[in-house]
Amino acid sequence: MEPTGYPELDQIAQRLDRVRTLDARGLEAEEIAILGRKAGALTALLKRVAELPIDERKRYGALVNRLKGQFEAAFAERREVVAAERRSQEDAGRDLTMPGRGRWVGAEHPVSRVVDEIVEIFRGIGFTVAVGPEVETDWYNFLALNFPADHPAMDMHDTLYLDAPAVEGEPSGRLLLRTHTSPVQIRTLLESTPPVRVVIPGMVYRNDAFDASHSPAFSQIEGLAVDEGISFVDLKATLIHFAHRFFSPSTRTRFRPSFFPFTEPSAEMDVECQICHGSGCPACKGTGWMEILGCGMVHPRVLENVNLDPERYTGWAFGMGPHRIAMLRYGLPDIRLLLEGDMRFLEQMGRTGGQPDGRGA
């Protein structure tokens, strides 16, 4: 560059060529050193223009401004080059032929699937869904359901009681983990007036050992219909419809007499064995049948306990265990498979076509 006659300008001008050798950090520092608003070398010279004699001012000002423009252009150009270099370095570390990372594909748990299917079948015929607390009082869990106060189910050996004071102001307020979802039905009946058609899915708890067929925590779905003029015919028709939708339209069913404190008469419902279809196999212990639920006409005393007149209203109810149903449907030998979260089992159940009947695939 031509000398200008101003050594301080020429000195700064010498730094212009170096700009295209700077890296990102050096570039930033140099911009501040030359053009920085507070301490930039050129900025300082520009401030001095005003102090010069009037005839010099014009030439000097033009020289400083030209140099400023040259630096601005050089910095901008260098910024572009540095950014492009960084982009190409990033691209160099990228291997577009590398195989993609596999995604974890989740799947519904077999018990969730069974619960959802059961709920959907009943919703399809006008039932609504209700849920309620898992900690209950012994009135909602037992006494309202016509359990006598000395019933063995109320014993500490069968029921998990909470180590907490009883709820005051309740008819009987000892706190426990609900042993069935029936207390939610009691709450529903207390809160509404018939017609009532409701299904209640949820976890229930019993003081049981954890073995192949028992667990201290398992799921239940109960259903309840209360209205004027409801009979055992409604119970049978509805539950047979359910079995045909859930298993298959040709699945045979049968009802056997049974006993529950909260229903009278009571029954257990069997469907033909889903493994051998009736010929007899180890899964059905050679009987050709599998028990899927308990049911019955709501006991008149249960209706009275929720302030309904049993002369006017009748109802029916059922209860079944989705863990058990899932074991029957998928031919599982051990309930612990459904509760322990072993990925080898869950991946097998979740895999497309991995289930015996191909459902949910």
Beta carbon nearer to ligand 2NL, 60 or 262: 262
Shortest spacing between CB 159 and ligand 2NL, in angstroms: 15
Shortest spacing between CB 345 and ligand 2NL, in angstroms: 24
Shortest spacing between CB 198 and ligand 2NL, in angstroms: 10
How far, in Å, CA of 191 to CA of 204, rounded? 22
- Count CB atoms within 10 A of the CB of residue 248: 13
If you search the block for the tokens 């004071």, which residue do you land on?
165
Shortest spacing between CB 204 and ligand 2NL, in angstroms: 9
How far, in Å, CA of 198 to CA of 191, rounded? 13
Beta carbon nearer to ligand 2NL, 274 or 305: 305
- If you write DSSP's letter for every residue of 168-179 in order, what string do you get? TTSSS--EEE-S
Binding site for ligand 2NL (CB under 6 A): 182, 185-186, 220, 222, 224, 260, 262-263, 294-296, 298, 302, 317-321
Closest listed residue to residue 222, CA positions, set 266, 180, 167: 180
Shortest spacing between CB 316 and ligand 2NL, in angstroms: 8
Beta carbon nearer to ligand 2NL, 137 or 263: 263
**Residue burial 77-116, b: 16+ Cβ < 10 Å; e: rest:** ebbeebeeeeeeeeeeeeeeeeeeeeeeeebebbbebbbe
Contact 196, 225 (CB under 8 A): yes
Beta carbon nearer to ligand 2NL, 46 or 339: 339
How far, in Å, CA of 345 to CA of 263, rounded? 38
Beta carbon nearer to ligand 2NL, 201 or 319: 319
